[in-house]
Amino acid sequence: MGESEFLKAYDANQYERPSVAVDLILMSVVEGTPAALLARRDAHPHLGAWALPGGFVGINESLDAAARRLLASKARMDAAYVEQLYTFGAVDRDPRARIISVAYFALLPPAHFAAALKATPELTLAELTVPWSGETGGPVEACSADGETLPLAFDHADMLGLAILRLRGKLDYSNVAFALLPDCFTLRALQEAHEAILGMRLNKPAFRRRMLDSGRLEATGERELGASFRPAELYRHRTAN
C-alpha cells in the first residue's frame, strides 16, 4: 500500500484527541513591581476569577496564528511580539475536558497596555507577588491596584510563576530587561526593572558599574524631563549591528 492509499484509509478517530488552547502571558513592571495582563472570566468554569487572555486553536489554524488572533481580539494589541514559553498539559488542568495549553510570552513597557485597559474594562494589569526567592519556582499571586488578591483560574498562577522563573534565569545573559523599558531610559529605571524581576534590592554603584561596563548601553546625551532634582542621564539599549 502506498502512502496516499494509507492516508485515505486512515481513521483519525482511532485515538482520542485533546483540545488545544493558547494563553498569553503579557508582562510588564509597574512602579517597581512585576505585573501581567488579566481578564475577568464571564462564564463557567471559574466564573468571576481572573485568567490570562486566551482561547482555543482552530482546527485549520497554526499555534502562532492563534496567538496573533488572540493578541488582537482578547488583549487588544496588534504589534506585540510573542514567543512560546511552555506547554501545560496536566490531565486535570481544566475541568471541562482534556485541554492542553501553549503559553506565549511577551515583555512590554507599561504604556503598551494603556489602550487595551481603556477599551476593555474586563482587563486589568495586575501586580504579581512572588512568594519564593531565587529560582525556587512555583505559583505566584495576583493583586489589584488597591491590594486585593485576585483569584486566578485554571493553572494560570503556575504559568505566571514559570514566566518569572524563566526571566530570572535569563536576566544575567540576555536583554530581557530592556523590553520592559521605553526606548530611552535612566539607569535608575533599568535597575528597578532588574529588581522587580529578581524580587530583591541591588547595590546601586555595583549595578551601574556593571551595566556601563557591559557595552550594552549607549548614552543619548539627553536627560529626563520633569525631574524634581538634577535630571538623570538617558540611555538606550545598544543593539548589535
Would you list the domain boundaries of the chain? 18-170, 183-237
Which architecture characterizes domain 183-237 according to CATH? Answer: Orthogonal Bundle (1.10)
Length of the chain: 241
**Total Cβ atoms within 10 A of residue 101:** 25
Distance in angstroms (rounded) separating the CA atoms of residues 239 and 218: 9
**Could you give the angle at which helices 187-198 and 156-170 cross, rounded to 10 degrees?**
130
Distance in angstroms (rounded) separating the CA atoms of residues 24 and 207: 31
State the pLDDT at residue 228.
67
DSSP 113: G
Distance in angstroms (rounded) separating the CA atoms of residues 161 and 177: 17
Cβ 40 vs Cβ 48: under 8 Å: yes
Helix, strand, coil proportions of the chain in percent (round to 5)? 30, 25, 40
User: 206, 203, 212, 201: which is closest to 235 by C-alpha?
Assistant: 212
| Domain topology for 18-170 | Nucleoside Triphosphate Pyrophosphohydrolase (3.90.79)
Per the listing, cell 526606548 goes with 183
Distance in angstroms (rounded) separating the CA atoms of residues 153 and 195: 27
State the pLDDT at residue 54.
97
Helix or strand run (H / E) with residue 150: strand 149-150
Q: 18-170 with 183-237: one CATH topology?
A: no
- Identity of the residue numbered 63: L
pTM of the model: 0.92
Backbone angles phi, psi at 204, to 5 degrees: -60, -55
Backbone angles phi, psi at 161, to 5 degrees: -65, -40
Q: What cell numbers appear for 169 in the block?
A: 534565569
DSSP 148: P
Q: What cell numbers appear for 121 in the block?
A: 474594562
What is the residue-level pLDDT of the chain in tens, covering all 241 positions? 899 999 999 998 999 999 999 999 999 999 899 999 999 999 999 999 999 999 999 999 999 999 999 999 999 998 788 999 999 999 999 999 999 999 999 999 999 999 899 989 899 999 999 999 999 999 999 999 888 999 999 999 999 999 999 999 999 888 999 999 999 999 999 999 999 999 999 999 999 999 999 999 999 999 998 766 788 999 999 986 5
Report pLDDT digits (tens) over 142-154. 999 888 999 999 9
Q: What cell numbers appear for 228 in the block?
A: 524634581
